[in-house]
Amino acid sequence: MTALPTPKSERWKYSNLQTYVSDKYTEQPLSVGYDGDDKFINESDTQLESWATDVYGDMQVWDDLQDVLSVHIPEDMHVDKPVYLSLEALENSKSTGHINIHLEKGASLCVYEDITCNGWMNRSITITLDEGANLTHIRTGSGDGIATNLTQIKQASKSKYSAYAMNTYCEFMRDQIHVTLDGADASCYLSGAKILNDKQHCDTCILIEHRAPNCYSNQNYRNILNGQSRGIFQGKVHVHKIAQQTDGYQLCNSVLLSDKCEMDTKPELEIYADDVKCSHGAVTAQPDSEPLFYLMARGIPKKQAQAILLQAFVAESLEAFEDNEEIYEQLSQKIEHTLNA
């Protein structure tokens, strides 16, 4: 097993994993349950995608790889019923596991991933989207453990990936996402929210590589921090020379509710093509008092007005799901529930 990453490495400079892990963790297989159509899911397939590598060599998921679960959707199959994956790491256990998701040409699927993490979860997902495939990937979770996630997506032409990660749980979370847009006209929406309190630490680290022309990528995140929590957002877009007419957007806004919380936002653009549109934006601030006064002047009590504004703020991260009522409602309720907890 290779050594754990340390803050000496640029991509880990905000997160010191070593201070969270200790000898107490014993290796245990990651428990992966699922609910969905059996014919698409294979528990015995141990084949890893050949293209998948830990791109920076800092996520460790290839060590001690224990479980592989595969979800495979054949050509032009539109799966109406979502696939639910429930992953669990028990207290004091280090559970490593890997999931392959492969959608063939023209296939579509929605995957809900639910994480229960009270130990240390080291989970990896590779997602292969063939031409025109369309995957929606929603992740929520609970527990107060440590999660190190690596999600790698490879997209062929005209494929679409839409993801939402609701990070409200775990004492420490590293969420590393690596997207390769490999075929023309592919699009990728990464979105999510952090709602953190106490001493929670959550580090989202994204790399989107535009390796084909006319692709679209969008990163849209909202964060609310309270207590002594710390949030990190590192979002990098790499536009290769071949990737003309790239559209790349990134927005990460955060609200700080206490004096002791911290948000670090680091956008990075690396552009080698000359005909591209790329933008990034980040605002970290305390709640704005003018909207609050406006709502109160209309009779809405302060606490209720604050909750309405925070809810509205986080809901901006759901933009990509505005046309999908089921997902939108479910995530909205989850946000409301977390904010009122």
Which 8-state DSSP code applies to residue 223? E
Interface region with other proteins, contact rule CB under 8 A, candidates 120-128, 198-206, 302-310, 320-328: 302-310
Give 63 or 288: the residue with its C-beta nearer to other proteins: 288
Give 34 or 164: the residue with its C-beta nearer to other proteins: 164
- How far apart CA 88 and CA 140 sit, in angstroms, is 12
Quick note: the x/- pattern for other proteins over 307-326, rule CB under 8 A, is: -xx-xxx-xx----------
Q: Are 339 and 311 in contact (CB under 8 A)?
A: yes
Least distance (Å) between residue 304 CB and other proteins: 7
Instruction: Write the CA distances from 3 to 25, 46, 173, 174, integer angstroms.
Output: 16, 25, 18, 16
Place of tokens 């062929």: 156
Place of tokens 């224990």: 66
Applying CB under 8 A, which of residues 298, 325, 340, 341 lies at the interface with other proteins? 298
Q: What's the alpha-carbon Rg for the chain, to the nearest Å?
A: 20
Least distance (Å) between residue 290 CB and other proteins: 5
- How far apart CA 153 and CA 143 sit, in angstroms, is 26
Q: Are 221 and 250 in contact (CB under 8 A)?
A: no
Applying CB under 8 A, which of residues 294, 322, 326, 333 lies at the interface with other proteins? 294
Give 7 or 291: the residue with its C-beta nearer to other proteins: 291
Instruction: Dig out the tokens for 227 from the structure.
Output: 């207590």
Q: Does 302 bind other proteins (CB under 8 A)?
A: yes
Interface region with other proteins, contact rule CB under 8 A, candidates 91-99, 105-113, 173-181, 305-313: 305-313
Applying CB under 8 A, which of residues 304, 329, 333, 337 lies at the interface with other proteins? 304
Give 66 or 304: the residue with its C-beta nearer to other proteins: 304
Q: Does 297 bind other proteins (CB under 8 A)?
A: yes
Least distance (Å) between residue 336 CB and other proteins: 13
- Write the CB contacts of 330 (distance below 8 Å, at least 6 apart in sequence): none
Which 8-state DSSP code applies to residue 328? H
Q: Does 293 bind other proteins (CB under 8 A)?
A: yes
Least distance (Å) between residue 292 CB and other proteins: 9
Give 242 or 285: the residue with its C-beta nearer to other proteins: 285
Q: Does 8 bind other proteins (CB under 8 A)?
A: no
In the chain, % helix, strand, coil (3-state, to 5) comes to: 15, 50, 35
Which 8-state DSSP code applies to residue 311? H
Quick note: the x/- pattern for other proteins over 261-290, rule CB under 8 A, is: ----------------------------xx
Which 8-state DSSP code applies to residue 45? -
Q: How many CB atoms lie within 10 A of CB 341?
A: 8
Residues in contact with other proteins by the rule CB under 8 A: 289-291, 293-302, 304-305, 308-309, 311-313, 315-316
